[in-house]
Structure 1
Amino acid sequence: MDLFYEKILRPLFFRLGPERAHEYGRNFLQTLSTVQPACRLLAKFTQGRGESIELAGLKFPNHIGLAAGMDKDAEFVPAAAALGFGHVEVGTVTPKPQPGNPQPRLFRYPEHEAIVNRMGFNNHGMEAMGKRLRRLPAPGKRIAPVGVNIGKNKNTALEDAASDYLSCFEHLVDLADYFTVNVSSPNTEGLRELQEKDRLLEILGGLEERNRARKAGTVPIFLKIAPDLTFHQIGEILEVVAESGVAGLVATNTTIGRDSLPAGREYEHGGLSGSPLQLRSTQIIRFISRETGGKLPLIGVGGIHDSASAAEKLDAGAHLIQLYTGWIYRGPFFARTLARSLRFHRENW
């Protein structure tokens, strides 16, 4: 099926503009998601059998997750799980709906198996997401855990950003298996400044304070970081993580760097994802794992395009991995293919 997609279907999809192709794919997955019995049946064949990964108090049926940015509004969670994903991260969601940046804002570079996006947190807002998540089984009873990636609205000042993250958390906390705090997208002006130590501690500390006060128990909160940070900056973030008590890290988001692409041509500005990000994201995962003794829950993202690059992330110290660009280039059942290969890899560690 993966080969059929790459040879037949992908060339047809790539004749369309990137956002139009995404819309067609999203519409199909939305339709599939409405037939939840079919999704559950399909999941029996695509999910790992007898395999379970425990991380941050949650159980995952396999190592492979769908990264945030693909299903921004929680519109096709059942379909993603049916296609073999062991967890689905939806969002980034903001308190209020917003259209994102002007089009065009999504660009393919097939010769590098890469994508550049400058979407800008386009989403329907936390209330719309809440309505969709309520249609799913409750947390802990789903085919695969659902994470909610949260951000701030474009027009919210940086000094008020903590309130946006807290609003999303409070509105969706009963509906999420875990949260990811997104302060690392390059496509919202000034957002990455929230990775600075004091600002980050305000956001994460406030979330965890509210999290610990819940009578229903805490929900794991992860932090997603940029690949463009220095190791010194990452070290400071690890101090904030330890002080705030958040569950773990997602490494990494897209990069604004172009050093991993051939020189001599101009590239669109925005966040670069795909194969060119593979090396840098793995370096960061390895650094975090070494600095924390492998004890900090870590989800690896960036440049995963085959079984070897997926295994590389686990060998570097990631406990789970996520796909975005690799799914676009490799096809709908790529998660199933990787999950099976990683199960074999895991048995031979």
Structure 2
Amino acid sequence: MTASAPTMLPAATLRAIAKKYGYDAPEIDPPQSGYRNTSFRFRTARGDDLNFILYKREPDIVRLIRRTNALGGYVYERGLPVRAPVDKRILRVGQRHGSLYRYLDGETIPWEAYTMKHIKLLGMAMARFHDAARQFGGEMPDVEDVYAAIVLRMNAYFGDPNVTRALRDKLGMAVDAPDFTALLDQARRLPGRTVLHMDMVRSNVLFREAKAGDGFTVGNITLSGILDLEKAARGHVLFDVARSLAFLLVDCARPGASVRRYFLESGYRKRGGQNLQPVRLPSGDMLESLITLFLTYDFYKFLRQNPYESLPENHHFIRTAAVLRAQKVVQ
């Protein structure tokens, strides 16, 4: 999946938007586009660095913006470097809606470029996020409901005889997915729920060179921003841990044992200060089962979003398939 071309807004419109929030914006950067939105960076006359996010049109988008803004403001006040709104207002711009946020400095980097320090910082930031968001009382979906709907779609897809035939003929593969519905039902009954980010992946995490006074630092690297709270949900922390760990295990250029140690032990437990205990469910070890769920979902998305014939050239797909083959999900 690639970002769409950025939406263009006239400078006069952008300055009028800034005015509505009480700012003069003499400097406006070119727009940057993501999967869901277009962002416009403002530098105001009094030195504020802000970011207006124009969200794409989709059902219930205002409710989603309101929900994520409430969460962002809540955890920002508790010391997390998240994308936080300057106030509660959501503006309508044509047929779309947007909100103004504090700008977060830094850059995303590919998984392959993650070092030991980046992995530790990611674990630390996730632990601190879970702790900061634990008492958030705003509206939030349950993560089990979100993935129950996904599992239904995956089951229908992999159960389609035409898909089975195409996988065999074009990729030489077959899929035998575990009973993820049972996993979700068992996880739903566990205590200790908190708000999860559920998208703390490389495109939503910013890093930069460390400066004096930074709070999320290992060595000379600072984790300076956590973006996009749109997928946040309530559930057990292992859902969030497994989602990010699944990406790291596939795409980070380090041995899996080292990735787990840096992320879980040095990052989440030691630097994040959160206790992370193994959970054994009737369906098996919860963390390992969730990693399999997320890798299967990633595998499914590769198949749905790309011609099968192109996938042997996609190294992310090949790595994901290799891990699932070792787990006997892919044959």
TM-score higher than 0.5: no
Larger Rg: 2
Q: TM (normalized to structure 1)?
A: 0.28
Q: TM (normalized to structure 2)?
A: 0.29
